[in-house]
Amino acid sequence: MKNYIHEIHNCKEKAIIRKDYDVLVIGGGMSGLCAAIASARQGAGTAIVQDRSVFGGNASSEMKMHISGASCHWGKKDAAETGILMELQLENKYLNDSYNYSIWDGVLWSAAMDCENLDVYMNTTMDMVDSDGSCIHCVQCYQMTTENRYEFGAKVFVDATGNGTLGYFAGAEYKIGREAAAEYGEQDAPEQADGETMGNTIYFVAEDVGHPVKFVKPGWAYTFTEEDFVHRYHGDIVVYHNADDVVVLKPGEDYRDHEDELVEKYDVKSGYWWIELGGDWDDIIKQSEDIRYELYRTVYGVWDHIKNGGDHGAENYELTWVGNLGGMRESRRLMGDYVLTEQDILSNRVFEDAVAYGGWPMDEHVAAGFRAKGQIPSRVRSFKGLYSIPYGCFCSRTVKNLMMAGRNISASKLAMGSTRVMGTCAVGGEAVGVAAAGAALSGLTPSEYGRLHRKELQQKLLKNDLYVPGCKNEDEDDKARLAKLSATSQQSGYEVENLISGVTRREGDQSNLWMSKGIREGGEAVVLELKEPSSISQVRLVFDPDLSEERCISVSRAFMEKEPRGVAKTLVKDYRVEALFGGKTVACRDVRDNHQRLNVVEFDEAVMVDAVRITFWSTNGCENVQMYEVRIY
């Protein structure tokens, strides 16, 4: 043993591997993954550092949380997030219609690995940051599986760690806990500031095995009685949250009828979000391992109560999975050029520099979580409509080359209760990735890029199928905007001219959608006659997957029962794009078995055209062809 120790002590120190990028993303949850892919697609040399073996964060197989967003799970119409997030979700619906989280992990992993200009470092932890407090120079990371130590330099760094760890190590300004009401004039903030946050949750999964199964409580697990579960429903029951309480729905009452309310179905199969701890501990980050141990003891105690503490309909249920990592809702928030507030959300504010949006209620979980015996576990502040998130929320106000993506963006505690959900984080992350690439490639700081190229950035986001409230397509390079349109058929309110309305979802009474009258033999067709002959190489099409439907993977029976199976029926399946000149076809592309909303059809080389014809042969089950936009480049 002495010789072995001596040998180790005298080993030559392994060299640090230096890598430099335009954009470096730390964190591989949904926001970080979307940011990295978006940056790479803009042509920036990008790397993503993820300390886990899977992507997705709370949405991965490690924690199995479904992705919530502005739609509030069927509560708000036409509100689903698009862009890279929808691309990933639609790919998953095509490959994985039985909610297998391992396949979902693979969808996320392959999206990163197959992305040009993106280097992937998994099982890699950032543990050192070289910063002078106003600029990050580089970071050091250790890859557990290879024993490699890396030093990464970048022009722009993106903190998608959730905890704001990169910003914290770099000396960026941050906040944690509740602000006093006077700080931002928020009516629902407390009179005095404190360190209370929302807590962490560990999910479980149980299965009905068709025969009675016993459960013996481990000696280290807690014991609970029914008194511990007041306001914490733990049977097969549907509830919705109003502003002050939870309300149980009557038998047969459809929870889709409760618009703008947070609706949940409690069942003994998919765990409970209210198994939550840590929000009132001294330091939710430094004590996260202790919180995790307490959550284990609590989860198994809850399951013991369900199995052995009375009739909960769980006699045939067996516990098949318990998460190994606590899902964290809240910790540090990095302060940016703008701080989103409660007033911004409740007023549905549309910012001039908007780059993302949200619609989830401002829910504020009681800090003590499950230990808040007899208290309502969450106060939900619902509101109608959507709000925008300005660019300034994603740029650090103190570290000039740092951007934020995810739940750590610049928002008050109350506003973060809405912006923290993964759907909102993902579209914000994609916007950050596009902006970070633009800043890095133009030699500007993120704040400078936002000031000088705001409209250009917003147009890039729209082109990549993100929704930006208050913005529409004004891309001067898009030849379709000035084209004359015709269609073989159209329905009232869904005219073909909607294809160049500039908006790719319903807004109020405006559908912004073209819809055919059925599909005739030989197919339905749209023709765009260009204002003048032009050289083109690309046609971009945005189809309709039904933005009022859910498509997220989940262990919740509520989602499994309500989500449509398979590829969205409203999506076009088979079609042809023809480039025309003088009535003759000069280039042609056929697309078969489409299952995506955004389709980018490329020709082998640029061709001179005076018109484009698109012929639609079939959908994935809908009797009409439905499409939001055509762009021609």
List the Cα angle 204/32/405 in 5-degree steps: 105
Residue 566 belongs to some domain of the structure: yes
Q: What is the DSSP string of 549-596?
A: S-----S-HHHHHHSPPSS-TTSEEEEEEEEEETTEEEEEEEE-S---
Residue 471 belongs to some domain of the structure: no
The helix/strand/coil state of 451 is helix
- Residue located via tokens 């009179």: 191
Average pLDDT, stretch 413-433? 98
Backbone φ/ψ region at 56: left (φ over 0), alpha (ψ -120 to 50), beta: left
Residue 122 belongs to some domain of the structure: yes
Residues 275 and 345 in one domain: no
Residues 395 and 526 in one domain: no
Q: Distance from CA of residue 239 to its chain's centroid? A: 25
Q: Which residue type is seen at 405?
A: A
Q: Across 11-15, 98-102, 284-288, which has the greatest mean pLDDT?
A: 284-288
User: Residue 562: its pLDDT value, please?
Assistant: 83
Q: Alpha-carbon distance 65 to 318, whole Å?
A: 20
Average pLDDT, stretch 556-570? 87
Chain mean pLDDT for the chain: 94
Residue 269 belongs to some domain of the structure: yes
Q: Alpha-carbon distance 504 to 83, whole Å?
A: 11
Confidence of residue 269 (pLDDT cuts 50, 70, 90): confident
* Dihedral angle over CA of 472, 476, 478, 481, nearest 10: 60
Q: Alpha-carbon distance 308 to 216, whole Å?
A: 9
Average pLDDT, stretch 499-510? 98
172 within 8 A of 418, measured Cβ to Cβ: no
Q: Alpha-carbon distance 611 to 527, whole Å?
A: 7
- Residue with the larger pLDDT of the pair 256 and 439: 439
Please list, in sequence order, all residues whose beta carbon lies within 8 angstroms of the beta carbon of residue 331, skipping any fewer than 6 positions away.
Answer: 162, 163, 164, 176, 197, 284, 285, 408
Measured N-to-C along each axis, helices 30-41 and 422-442 cross at an angle, to the nearest 10 degrees, of 30
Residues 320 and 355 in one domain: no
User: Residue 14: its pLDDT value, please?
Assistant: 74
Q: How far apart are the first and last CA of the chain?
A: 69
Q: Distance from CA of residue 112 to its chain's centroid? A: 15
User: Residue 390: its pLDDT value, please?
Assistant: 98
Residue that finishes a domain, picked among 464, 492, 514:
464
Residues 459 and 355 in one domain: yes
The helix/strand/coil state of 379 is strand
Average pLDDT, stretch 116-128? 98
CATH of the domain at 587: 2.60.120.260
Residues 132 and 218 in one domain: no
pLDDT exceeds cutoff 60 at 2 = no
Residues 546 and 455 in one domain: no
pLDDT exceeds cutoff 90 at 6 = no
Q: Look up residue 627 and give its two tokens.
A: 């499409």
User: Residue 407: its pLDDT value, please?
Assistant: 98
User: Residue 268: its pLDDT value, please?
Assistant: 80
pLDDT exceeds cutoff 70 at 546 = yes
User: Residue 270: its pLDDT value, please?
Assistant: 84
pLDDT tens, residue by residue, 450-501: 999 999 999 999 999 999 999 999 999 999 999 999 999 999 999 999 999 9
Residues 279 and 409 in one domain: no
Residue 11 belongs to some domain of the structure: no
pTM for the model stands at 0.95
Residue 295 belongs to some domain of the structure: yes
DSSP assigned state of 456 = H
User: Residue 97: its pLDDT value, please?
Assistant: 85
pLDDT tens, residue by residue, 206-219: 999 999 999 999 99
Residue 473 belongs to some domain of the structure: no
Residue 100 belongs to some domain of the structure: yes
Burial status of residue 358 (CB atoms within 10 A of its CB: 0-12, 13-18, 19 or more): buried
Number of folded domains that form the chain? 3
Residues 43 and 148 in one domain: yes
Residues 402 and 532 in one domain: no
**Alpha helices (H) along 56-171:** 83-95, 101-113, 165-170
Q: Alpha-carbon distance 616 to 518, whole Å?
A: 11
Q: Look up residue 509 and give its two tokens.
A: 């009474």
Q: Alpha-carbon distance 463 to 109, whole Å?
A: 24
631 within 8 A of 503, measured Cβ to Cβ: no
Residues 321 and 344 in one domain: no
CATH of the domain at 166: 3.50.50.60
- Full residue range of the structural domain in which residue 384 is found: 17-178+337-464
Q: Alpha-carbon distance 598 to 82, whole Å?
A: 9
173 within 8 A of 336, measured Cβ to Cβ: no
Confidence of residue 246 (pLDDT cuts 50, 70, 90): low
